[in-house]
Structure 1
Amino acid sequence: MSPRLSTVILPVERWHTGGGETWRRAEDLGFHTAYTYDHLSWRVPFRDRTWFGAVPTLTAAAGVTRRVRLGTLVTSPNFRHPVPFAKELMSLDDISGGRLTVGIGAGATGFDAEVLGRRPWEPRERFARFEEFVGLLDRLLTRDATTFEGEFYAASEARGIPGCVQRPRLPFAVAATGPRGLRVAARHGQAWVTTGDWRLNETGTPQESLRAVRGQVERLGAALEAEGRDPAGVAKILLTGFTPEPAAPFASVDAFVDYAGRYAEAGVDEIVIHWPIPDTIFGYDPAVFERIALEAPAQLGAGGPA
């Protein structure tokens, strides 16, 4: 089966001077899902540039699109609490007519981890918070009322009425590569997200990266089977831009088809590409990007280069 093609649109454009048109164009190009990052700021050079909030951006995008799915890629507990966030997600799922996916990850150190004026969490605490965050968010989005007392989060008769348009709730796309994170994905995810192996992304080769992702897919499959779930029922999503030689797939349509075909053979069934932004790591040719969106799915479906 050929992989679906999606895009991620960083929230860097003012809505009325180009932002809204970008989301409409993503739908016109036939992308399966248009995601955005859920950060309060991001790395250089975006750190001191225009950057808008994910939920308002997706709400506006829902109003100017009709078919394309929408989502975060990804949300983390760094500055979110499950109770108010669940209400926002339920509302956005309703506004979009049931087109929302929430990507969720443990987050990392950096801007989002420190912007609230607290110490960054140690890795053990960060993962424990992530696990509790995802579990509580699941409850909040599937029950009319939730009371919960955890180690990090609590809810007291938190109302979730009327619930999501998508039943039993909107899908979770869980970003994880380690054993404990894969168990969270297997327990709660309708999709799984990887950016490859971060240890290889700067110094490894494309072949090493491909083998690493294949291994991640296999470990996810084992975790799903341990939960009594069919691995084929959970989408495997690759967020591009971080594997070795990140610009190479965007040299031409053929180069992208070759790249996507290899990852499809490794078990990936959704490829996410960044909307072009000049003078950044995503500064590839917009014309080639649009040709990829329009032509690559058919070539992959026909068994193009692999």
Structure 2
Amino acid sequence: MSLRLSTVILPIHRWHEGGRERWQRAEELGFHTAYTYDHLTWRTFRDGPWFGALPTLTAAAGATGRMRLGTLVTSPNFRHPVTLAKELMSLDDISGGRITLGIGAGGTGFDATALGQDPWTPRERADRFDEFLPLLDRLLTERETTQRGTHYSAVDARALPGCVQRPRLPFAVAATGPRGLRLAARHGQAWVTTGDPKIFAEGTPEDSLKAIGDQIDRLGRACADIGRDPAELDKILLTGFTPEANSPLESLGAFTDFAGRHEELGFTEIVVHWPIPDSEFASDQRVFEQIATEFKG
């Protein structure tokens, strides 16, 4: 099967107490990419250990040699394009050009207020993302950038020597709304979805497939509006947030069926959570590794 399998390793383990080993094991199992969440903390993990995404990826880059690495996803909630661009350029260099930036508009979780700000409305999140992503694109591709915006500005910001990956590291843009899909079409090398949150609790797998298919159709129209072939974008599904939740990881057969149905929709990559006991991402480690081995390469 040409479908790529990746994993997301939450940054909840001390590096020298199991953290390093998980990233190395992910490479041994043949995952295409190992991502981590770029949050300050997240949901039910708020009262436990949670480490920074970019330092974790830097350490993972030194502990691995082949597997791609990335965020899933970064957002403007607590970042600025100028400083983020410098950190990403450095991480791309340290990893030898193995970094993918998953990026989206952000949400209303703990990240949204940790810096003391009021939560942004959906419209303000979209407005900020509209500025953030194009500016980040410029900062990673141009030698120097000056741009003044409503929310974000850069003055004589330098990006030397630039990314190892040219013209810059790839963006995987998480989006479902019209403005986000337009940004994915214009700036993305990949598009990310978790499905439709409105049907997570009470919808069926069939409802989910239809909703995701509609998202792909709208992405195609956004690409057509700017004359881009939607086949140029990889399509990534982060699992765990569709009505099936973690059930595709119950057996190799269940996952093969799940993956096949989504590959038919046009997905090129599926991302599964590294098992975390006693959490919403609990699953059998043996089955997880069996699935990884079967889909290796």
Normalised by the shorter chain, which TM-score bucket? over 0.9
CA-atom RMSD, angstroms? 0.9
The residue that corresponds to 2:225 in the other structure is: 226
Q: Is the 8 A contact 1:2 1:297 kept in 2?
A: no
The residue that corresponds to 1:54 in the other structure is: 53
What is the CA–CA distance in structure 2 between the aligned matches of 1:72 and 1:244, rounded to whole Å?
Answer: 24
Residue 79 of structure 2 is aligned to residue 80 of structure 1: yes
Give the alignment of 1:34-49 within 5 angstroms.
Answer: 34-44=34-44, 46-49=45-48
Q: Secondary structure of 2:212's partner?
A: helix
Instruction: Render the CA deviation track for 1:175-204: whole Å, top value 9, x for unaligned.
Output: 001111100000100000000011111110
Q: Is the 8 A contact 2:185 2:219 kept in 1?
A: yes
Q: Secondary structure of 2:287's partner?
A: helix
The residue that corresponds to 1:208 in the other structure is: 207
Deviation, 1:118, is 1.0
What is the CA–CA distance in structure 1 between the aligned matches of 2:246 and 2:133, rounded to whole Å?
Answer: 33
Q: Is the 8 A contact 2:31 2:296 kept in 1?
A: no
**Number of aligned residue pairs:** 297
The residue that corresponds to 2:12 in the other structure is: 12
Instruction: Render the CA deviation track for 1:69-88: whole Å, top value 9, x for unaligned.
Output: 00000000000000000000
The residue that corresponds to 2:108 in the other structure is: 109
Q: Secondary structure of 2:155's partner?
A: strand
Give the alignment of 1:154-193 within 5 angstroms.
Answer: 154-193=153-192
Unmatched 5+ stretches in structure 2: none
Give the alignment of 1:249-288 within 5 angstroms.
Answer: 249-288=248-287
Q: Is the 8 A contact 2:29 2:296 kept in 1?
A: no
Deviation, 1:297, is 5.2
Q: How many percent of aligned residue pairs carry the same amino acid?
A: 69
The residue that corresponds to 2:88 in the other structure is: 89
Q: Is the 8 A contact 2:6 2:32 kept in 1?
A: yes
Unmatched 5+ stretches in structure 1: 299-306
Report the residue type matching 2:174 in the other structure: A
Report the residue type matching 2:200 in the other structure: N
What is the CA–CA distance in structure 1 between the aligned matches of 2:189 and 2:226, rounded to whole Å?
Answer: 13
The residue that corresponds to 1:302 in the other structure is: none
Instruction: Render the CA deviation track for 1:266-293: whole Å, top value 9, x for unaligned.
Output: 1111000000000001110000000000
Q: Secondary structure of 2:46's partner?
A: helix
Instruction: Render the CA deviation track for 1:222-249: whole Å, top value 9, x for unaligned.
Output: 2112222111110000000000021210
Q: Is the 8 A contact 1:253 1:296 kept in 2?
A: no
Instruction: Render the CA deviation track for 1:90-117: whole Å, top value 9, x for unaligned.
Output: 0000000000000000000120001011
What is the CA–CA distance in structure 1 between the aligned matches of 2:62 and 2:124, rounded to whole Å?
Answer: 38
Report the residue type matching 1:16 in the other structure: H
Q: Is the 8 A contact 2:68 2:98 kept in 1?
A: yes
Q: Secondary structure of 1:232's partner?
A: helix
Report the residue type matching 1:192 in the other structure: W
Q: Secondary structure of 1:102's partner?
A: strand
Report the residue type matching 2:121 in the other structure: E
